[in-house]
Structure 1
């Protein structure tokens, strides 16, 4: 009897309440996860964009044009005293001062032109010459027809009656109200220079010239200052337009209207000699309009009737070791100039041409920040306020006061990225020097040394890290025993957790002195270690198989450890012998004196080792993962076809892993470029441009760490530091973009393997 049974498949119901509920929950989780990922990704992109826009927001004012607004216009205060010989204001730009043609000093309100006080010249004689030492010193000199000169100084006293500020102007006479006898002829041109040691006055008449020194000596008993005068004749120069005495009273410059400059050496006062004759204007019929010192009394600015303003300062000749007044740069307006005025706290100046047009420049950056018509063709004089936030202009209608908004004139693309000839330098250079001890300092904001230092540090770090990291990753992922790999890889990756400040500290305080004392050993290791490892590998391959088989396959690196330690110790032990026999006992002295290479203890070599040590874990980890992730079927197929392990590695594994390896190198480079503490502590932190491996550098990131806390918020220095940060941001962005592009190309090329 045959028994048959029917097996019926159970029906699956996918619409049970439980399954429906499960699908709804899973769909909700998917939506939440998708929204979370989208929000997270968008937030990252938004954060990066906000950083970029904030940097641009801080940088943008650097390149904005100046603005000038009219604030007040009124008739010339105390007009009956005559036109102005000189215009200026006090610090707050509330009280103005002008010296009238008759020698009277008129103080007035800048806001409305009301006269505050008129101080008559103490001498009733006609003023035949007038000179101002500088706007900052407030010192003036009046010359008279009897050959005498009176030195005066305008000052201001601030008080707060009833809680309100009151500025009281007054005039003092530091050398007495009795005029100083300068010459025995009528003075036509005059110049003055005052220092702590004494006063120097030079005067020129119709056919004679003379110079007088008033020496100050302190009586040790009474503490009174005693004055002694000494006068000497000067070689006469005809048709003089202007004169200047250098800030250190070493030279006297006499300029003619036709542009011939005579330079006299005043160091031997009893025997004043003509040092040099200089032609200021070449191939032109221009006439000298003004000669005055720029802030700092180093640069002389010459304005002429062709609309040109040229800057000259002394440059030391390497052959003669003598200073020579040298043309540096110039700016030009299309029409003749009427006047020029200097800023009192920056290397800026303003010109006034015969159209009544005012142009404001910065001497260092040669940047024109404004060019605006402020008057008609009767304008005759302009003057900056002490803070350069105001401008006084005099024309036939009276006085006009303008507010000037000009925050960052010293910044231009040429000053940031090009060579600039700074005062006191022998030639144009790339220089970063953002501060100094004196108020006459010329800021030097070239970003080239910082960008160069960034690339230099990254180059030497990558030079050390890339070969070691990639070769180590190749061996670890492909040749090393799995058990040993599981121990080695975490240890190397753990190196990345070391704080870079600790690495910088050790590099600067321990490794840099050690490297300096053992230079011969260091270079010996770089040569002996690779050769020694290759020799040991050759000898190992020639040992009997029974000996080699004692070390399991993939554990051979452990055998190399004592070899490497021995070779390093041998090089260190032989270092004195190598120095004595090949380098005269002192390799650093041999590098410095025989090769002429500057040696700094904290240099690029130290940075290369220290920062390379910090970058190696990043490159190693990503490269090792890329190589280890190559499908085993590819390597097994290559070996099955008869290829060796090395051929399989070079022909199959490396091309397949090349996108990941390239990404590892680029990420490591980004880490090296943005590194701060190591380069800050392990280098001399000097912003110089020198490829010398024994010289230090300063990177963009290190410069930000050092100077941002000390910079004044909103200043040019502050905003240029943000520009440096933006440059660093752009650099890493470009590097990462190139890396991603190349990685995608390599993936497409080798993805079919």
Structure 2
């Protein structure tokens, strides 16, 4: 008997096993490396994002004996939090070291003048101090700190200088009982309540000589109405327009100072009570930027207010939000000098830290301190000091890097300063330091989904229908030419597509909007009409077209319909839209139009996504075993019935994968969105408005973000959200694909 089995030499068998094992190890290592890379990306993004939610910590430093005599009526700190300025109620200024309370220098501010009756800071973020005197005059001082390094040792030298020393700032003859000062680029504004004389105002407009560049102050007197009662506090709003007058009973009056500039009396814009149930005012303060007013009541309530339009052409003081103090009656409010946060010190020594935009209490601690004088926080917000009734100087080291972030600030509507209602807004920076950062990710996520939706709306039908025809109906010879040509489109750089979309396609869409829509309407109608007419041609003529080459006949039809659609642009606009469709939809429908809009993005990104979806779907359809369709046709089914009942269900896992990969490409696309839209972070489903996506926002703002800042980490959070979104979508897509495979894989 002859052994006909295949004999393989031992060395060749050993080499084959070695290669198989090597290939297995290589594939496994490659897959593990991919998974490891994804995990590293995930954990790196998480590493950059977690500090945003780290919370606030406060370390109580060793208290020192206050060596300045009487408790201060005014406190401030310099940039480093090392040197402080304390001013007593009598007008004695003391510079001291925060670390040990040692006195650096003393100065009597009221020397040669009437006694000091009121002390007031000009702004939360400034170093200007205003002193009101018993004779109705006001004195303005500014604290300066010179940093030097003699013998290699850092030394901070403080000083006080007088502002406007050559000008007498006098509002009347009575003693100043309440005072508000604002010194800006526009000029100086003083408002005070004088004993026996009521409210008095003095404005100095800054005028600059265009030839010499010298500036001068032009004085004018403000006429203010007589108000009942006595002022507990006076505040000036941003832009020197609003005057807020609070009384001890919790009442308020808001005056429009601009209405009284031309020798008229300033108008009372709004008045009422700050608190319910007649609660009295405990303390108040203006937040950084002089837009928001903070007020605490004797009943333990703490509210934020600012001016908004009332819908009748006027303005009103609106309560924007309330803060949870735990029932603590606040004795002093200390606004931060560079952020929209503040410190609240309770009467029983409670220390609480809040942030207005995030609308949350960041920290609470019972210190047991009985606050006697004032408290102050450094410009960097990392050092807090206060003096208690036991003549002790307390200081705290504050670690509060990212107070702006909360779930509501990121995803819910927030009532921002200078806005008339809550809104989703992304605006990370501005030209001034008083700006309230707006870190809402909602408009960016909405823009990402909006761009992906319009992209898939255009790309998915074209790509899937094209794949079906190419794989199932097209002649093999023509398929071998068409498929590589479409796949070659995928190699086109997206920056080129974005460039063409922004500079070429967007103006065409704007100028020929009616032609675009007529083209979209006429194209399917024209193709169906041509198919109907072709099917009714004599059989002899139809047989001259080889099977699978029908699509070639549509090329001149598509070109003709495209030319016809754009040729109808002018007549259609004249006939239906008054000569300009873009202006008509804005005037008649109230729909705004931006040249670089979602329609442009959908077309441009659709051209980038179509090759991906087409290639995967076409391969899936073409890979359906031929015996399935042959068996269906043999049983009497038509080609269309075979396609819909056998081929498409069998290929559905591959088609679905193509759609999900195309969706992932649309969600993560950067350059086309960056160049083809106005990059406006708005939440508007209007197809004629632009958007800003998460990926485009990262590309725009990451180069300008300060490393480790809140803005910097928020951009990483946006990347993390994008990562999670694609991961969740791909996971769901894989589950659906596996279910489709198990359902139709047995056909």
TM-score scaled by length of structure 1: 0.94
Residue 233 of structure 2 corresponds to which residue in structure 1?
242
Instruction: Please say if residues 603 and 697 of structure 1, whose CA atoms lie closer than 8 Å, have aligned partners that are also in contact.
Output: yes
Q: Which of residues 428, 432, 444 in structure 2 aligns to 1:434?
A: 428
Deviations 1:268-319 (A, max 9, x none): 1433245144334443353212222111111111122233221111112343
- 5+ unaligned residues in a row in structure 2: which ranges? none
Matched, 1:313 2:301: no
- Residues 208 and 743 of structure 1, relative CA distance in 2, 3 Å threshold: same
Question: CA offsets per residue over residues 417-452 of structure 1, 9 Å max, x none?
Answer: 000011111110001111111111111110011110
1:693-732 equivalence runs, <5 A = 693-732=687-726
Q: Does 1:258 align with 2:249?
A: yes
Query: Cα gap change, 1:315/1:9 in structure 2, threshold over 3 Å: closer, same or farther?
Result: same
Q: String of CA shifts for 1:530-565, please: whole Å, max 9, x gaps.
A: 111111111111111221111111111111101111
Q: Do the aligned partners of 1:360 and 1:371 also contact (CA within 8 Å) in 2?
A: yes
SS of aligned partner of 1:271: coil
**1:101 has 2:68 as partner:** no
The residue aligned with 2:382 is: 389
Residue 159 (str. 1) matches residue 148 (str. 2): yes
Describe the shift of the 1:147–1:419 C-alpha distance in structure 2 as closer, same or farther (beyond 3 A): same
Distance 1:651 1:150, change over 3 A: same
Within the alignment, does 1:448 sit opposite 2:442 as a pair? yes
Give the deviation of 1:477 after TM superposition: 0.7
Counterpart for residue 5 of structure 1: none
Deviates more, 1:661-670 or 1:209-218: 209-218
CA distance in structure 2 between the aligned counterparts of 1:376 and 1:183, rounded to whole angstroms: 40
Q: Does 1:742 align with 2:704?
A: no
Distance 2:543 2:435 in 1: 73
Query: Structure 2 CA distance, aligned partners of 1:457 and 1:235?
Result: 58
Please report how far the alpha carbon of residue 164 of structure 1 lies from its aligned counterpart in structure 2 after TM superposition: 3.0
Change (3 A) 1:166 1:470: same
Contact 1:390–1:401 at 8 Å: present in 2 too? yes
User: Kindly tell me: are residues 625 and 10 of structure 1, through their superposed partners in 2, closer, same or farther at Cα, counting changes over 3 Å?
Assistant: closer
The correspondence for 1:73, drawn from 63, 66, 85, is 63
Tell me what 1:337 maps to.
330
Give the counterpart of 1:142 among 131, 140, 153: 131
- Distance between the aligned counterparts of 2:649 and 2:304, measured in 1? 60
Q: The residue matched to 1:68 in structure 2 has which SS?
A: strand
Aligned twin of 2:680:
686
Paired residue secondary structure (1:284):
helix
Q: Which is worse superposed, 165-174 or 252-261? A: 165-174
**Partner Cα distance (1:660, 1:222) in 2:** 73
Distance of 2:482 and 2:373 partners within structure 1: 82
Query: Any gaps of 5 or more consecutive residues in structure 1?
Result: 1-7
Residue of structure 2 in register with 1:569 after alignment: 563
Residues 40-439 of structure 1: matches in 2 within 5 Å? 40-79=30-69, 82-121=70-109, 122-123=111-112, 125-176=114-165, 180-213=169-202, 215=204, 225=216, 228=219, 230=221, 234-267=225-258, 268-269=260-261, 270-320=263-313, 322-333=314-325, 334-378=327-371, 380-397=373-390, 398-439=392-433
Task: State TM-score, norm by structure 2.
Answer: 0.95
Write out aligned runs for 1:411-560 (5 A): 411-560=405-554
CA drift of 1:219 comes to 9.5
**How many angstroms apart in 2 are the aligned matches of 1:218 and 1:13?**
104
Provide the rounded CA distance (Å) in 2 between the counterparts of 1:328 and 1:312. 5
Instruction: Give per-residue Cα distances to partners, 1:634-690, cap 9 Å, x unaligned.
Output: 111111111111111111111111111111111111111111111111111111111
**In structure 2, what is the equivalent of residue 4 of structure 1?**
none
Shift in CA distance, 177/238, structure 1 to aligned 2, threshold 3 Å: farther
C-alpha contact (below 8 Å) 2:76/2:85 kept by paired residues: yes
**What is the DSSP-based 3-state SS (H/G/I as helix, E as strand, rest coil) of the residue aligned with 1:578?**
helix
Kindly tell me: are residues 313 and 461 of structure 1, through their superposed partners in 2, closer, same or farther at Cα, counting changes over 3 Å?
same
CA 1:19–1:643 in 2, change beyond 3 Å: closer, same or farther? same
Displacement, 1:154?
1.9
Question: 1:496·1:617 contact (CA, 8 Å) conserved in 2?
Answer: yes
* Larger Rg belongs to: 1
After alignment, is 413-422 or 146-155 more displaced? Answer: 146-155
Q: What are the superposed Cα offsets for residues 192-215 of structure 1, whole Å, 9 maximum, x if unpaired? A: 222345433333345431314153
Q: Which sits farther off after the overlay, 630-639 or 131-140?
A: 131-140
| Counterpart in the other structure of 1:3 | none
For the pair 1:629 / 2:640, whether they are aligned, the reply is no
Range moving further from structure 2, 265-274 or 131-140: 265-274
Kindly indicate whether the alpha-carbon contact (under 8 Å) linking 2:72 and 2:373 is maintained by their aligned counterparts in 1. Answer: no
Count of residue pairs the alignment pairs up: 740
2:146 and 2:534 map into 1 onto residues whose CA distance is 91
CA-to-partner distance for each residue in 1:242-279, whole Å, 9 max, x for gaps? Answer: 11122322232211111100122322143324514433
Residues of 2 paired with 1:662 and 1:226: CA distance? 72
- Any idea what the Cα deviations from partners look like across 1:369-425, whole Å, max 9, x if unmatched? 211223434465321101111111221231112111111101111000000011111
For residues 247 and 501 of structure 1, what CA distance do their matches in structure 2 show? Answer: 44
Greater CA deviation, 201-210 or 108-117? 201-210
Q: In the TM superposition, what is the alpha-carbon distance from 1:222 to its structure 2 partner? A: 12
Is the alpha carbon distance of 1:219 and 1:658 closer, same or farther for their aligned partners in structure 2, counting shifts above 3 Å? closer
Deviation at 1:575, TM superposition (A): 1.5
- Distance, in Å, in 1 between the alignment partners of 2:320 and 2:611 is 51
- Contact 2:95–2:104, Cα closer than 8 Å, also in 1: yes
SS at match of 1:188: strand
Q: Which has the higher mean CA deviation after the structures are superposed, 215-224 or 170-179?
A: 215-224
Which of 552, 563, 573 is the matching residue for 1:579?
A: 573
Q: Secondary structure at the match of 2:435?
A: coil
- Check conservation: 2:270, 2:316, Cα contact below 8 A: no
1:163 deviates by 3.4
Post-superposition offset of 1:40: 1.2
Deviation per CA, 1:576-610, whole angstroms, max 9, x where unpaired? 11111111111111111111110111111011111
1:181–1:281: structure 2 CA closer, same or farther, 3 Å change rule? closer
Structure-1 separation of matches of 2:642 and 2:18:
48
Summarize the Cα distance change of 1:519–1:203 in structure 2 as closer, same or farther, 3 Å threshold.
closer
Distance 1:573 1:223, change over 3 A: closer
1:240 and 1:254 in contact (8 A); partners too: yes
Helix, strand or coil at the partner of 1:106: strand
